[in-house]
Amino acid sequence: MNVSGSPPFPAAGSKAELEEGTVLSPRFGADGLITCVTMDAITGEILMVAHMNAEALAKTIETGEAWYWSRSRGELWHKGATSGQIQTVREIRVDCDQDALLLKVQVAGDGGCCHTGRRSCFYRRVEMSDGRTRLVIA
């Protein structure tokens, strides 16, 4: 299957339409993907960053649950289908030039989102000490 699938979204019009218009015209990259930041709808905590192709975005809108494109597995991924950590979408936002998405979600199951078992994929902080950088569990 083509990574981008069949595009269910219209092509972007003018710059003004893209930035100020009311039509969702996501700008998928050359690889057919768009970056998606996912955050907790209540706390605002950033949970993960993933990618969507046109099919994943269409399924997310249609079902109200988060779907992504797994670059490592090369397949569509329904977040939580095996872990129980289903992400129910409360809001979808698109950035100014429609090349990035923000999902505000409520997470089911144990509330985790990271494959390491943590709530967020952003569990390490970068610190600088004696001219060296290191990662520290936050």
Binding residues: 95-97, 99, 114, 121
Binding residues for Zn(2+), by number, are: 96, 114, 121
Annotated binding site for Mg(2+): 95, 97, 99
3-state DSSP assignment of residue 86: coil
Q: Which of 39-56 are b and which e, b meaning 16 or more Cβ less than 10 Å from the residue's Cβ?
A: bbbeeeeebbebbbbbbb
